[in-house]
Amino acid sequence: MSDAHSQIGGLLERIGRKQVVVGIIGMGYVGLPLALAFGGGGLRVLGFDTDPAKAEALNAGKSYIKHIGDAQIAELRTAGFLEATADMDRLAEPDAILICVPTPLTRHMEPDLAYVVSTTETIARRLRSGQIVILESTTYPGTTNDVMRPILERDGLKAGRDFFLAYSPEREDPGNPEYSTARIPKVVGADDAGSRAVAEALYGAFVPRTVAVSSAAAAEAVKITENVFRAVNIALVNELKVVFAAMGINVWEVIEAAKSKPFGYMPFYPGPGLGGHCIPIDPFYLTWKAREYNQHTRFIELAGEINSRMPNHVIDELARALDASSCRGLKNSRILVVGLSYKKNIDDIRESPSLRLLDLLRDRGSKADYYDPFVPVVPQMREHKDLIGQKSIEWSLDAIGGYDAALIATDHDEIDYVALCRAAKLVVDTRNVCARAGADLSKVVLA
């Protein structure tokens, strides 16, 4: 039996016995839920993060992500299934190393693989025979094989022979209790059968099923396809919102009626723009890569243009509503943006359209504050530097009444929208949440 076959057999046997150690690099919104899923499946997890404070919190049984409670972390720590560290020299310990690091865009809307490359180089310096390395970060087709593999092989070890290499796209939906990490099928792709078999067995320890594809590039394309699908359909309803509003038609009413059709239609909902680390970014990874093959992704680029224009549309609607209600206009108005996170009931503000709304309001001379029970203060981030450190106002109906308008950007469940609509002079609602809450709509404008 060859060394590769022997290593594959040994790994598969130890995975079956749950005797492997899983290392996860990046203990954020993707890596931490993944660690909890593996730990809950009975595998020991060693979580890596460059932020020592995160490692300290996890080792103390504490969560730093609001929609993830302390209890599950503490339980896994007590049982010995979870440990965290900032010491990258310990990367030789895990049998499997999973990469969950950011893949942002540059200012020129091109892929920024700096985190993937630096993480891969960090792994390469400690890589040993018999380990499997799996990228989970969303990226363009070809990254695993063309970018990571040469780095990992530079000291003589070969993928598929000495170590194993695969791609499995994250499918995390933060704050969604119905589809936790452990309940979502896992796509797995690798360029050799051994790597694919090991990756399938590894994820099979906690997911309901794995879906194997023929290559890492195919798996990378799966993730891009999922996010392009959402981006394009959201762009469609955002455009319909604008068109129907000009006709005096409520797009939310139209969507509710349309979704009664049991076939051939899937509801998507408009909003103030796209947020999160996937949908606003990932389609442009494919757009960039397609140029290498002299292909033009006009449909995707048009969707991106429509979605990126939504914050400007919302501010224009707010300005019109202010003119109509008070003849005050935006300049020198006091505006409260309600909701800073990119989606409801979580504290994740990555690419949140609320950040863009705050910038646009200030550019047009408004005094803009925000309220978000999940985001008490704006954290460090790469963009929107002027907003870093700004604090959420305290929830107070008297304070809300002092603003010229409240602009609802995120529809958190715990906000009292009935009271908000009663207290505010004007409400501009981008989520149709006031109508759903049964609030008085006499001062509400949809945008």
240 and 162 within one domain: no
What residues contact 97, with CB distance under 8 A and at least 6 apart? 23, 24, 25, 91, 123, 131, 132, 133, 134
223 occurs within a structural domain? no
Residue-wise DSSP of 311-334: HHHHHHHHHHHHHHHHS--STT-E
Q: Which of 157, 190, 214 is the last residue of a domain?
A: 214
93 and 30 within one domain: yes
Q: Which of 159, 185, 214 is the last residue of a domain?
A: 214
219 occurs within a structural domain? no
The pair phi, psi for residue 394, each rounded to 5°, is -75, 145
429 and 340 within one domain: yes
Q: ∠ CA 388-391-394 to the nearest 5 degrees?
A: 165
Looking at residue 194, which CATH number applies to its domain?
A: 3.40.50.720
**Catalytic residue, candidates 100, 278, 421, 434:** 278
388 and 328 within one domain: yes
221 occurs within a structural domain? no
145 occurs within a structural domain? yes
Give the total number of structural domains in the chain. 2
Long-range contacts of 111-115 (CB under 8 A, 24+ apart): 111/139, 111/140, 111/284, 111/285, 111/288, 111/289, 113/139, 113/143, 113/147
279 and 193 within one domain: no
Q: Which of 214, 240, 273 is the last residue of a domain?
A: 214
**H/E run at residue 444:** strand 444-446
169 and 256 within one domain: no
Q: Is 278 a catalytic residue?
A: yes
438 and 344 within one domain: yes
| Domain containing residue 316 | 229-446
Can you give the pLDDT at residue 419?
98
The terminus-to-terminus CA distance of the chain in angstroms comes to 66
124 occurs within a structural domain? yes
22 and 149 within one domain: yes
222 occurs within a structural domain? no
94 and 196 within one domain: yes
404 and 256 within one domain: yes
Below-70 pLDDT ranges, the chain: 1-2
The pair phi, psi for residue 337, each rounded to 5°, is -85, 120
Q: How far is the C-alpha of 217 from the C-alpha of 298, rounded, in Å?
A: 22
- Tell me the pLDDT tens digit for each residue of 236-274: 999 999 999 999 999 999 999 999 999 999 999 999 998
Q: Which of 212, 210, 214 is nearest to 191 (CA)?
A: 214
3-state secondary structure of 180: coil
220 occurs within a structural domain? no
Residue with tokens 């007590």: 78
176 and 94 within one domain: yes
248 and 139 within one domain: no
Can you give the pLDDT at residue 280?
82
283 occurs within a structural domain? yes
Q: How far is the C-alpha of 134 from the C-alpha of 142, rounded, in Å?
A: 14
Can you give the pLDDT at residue 1?
44
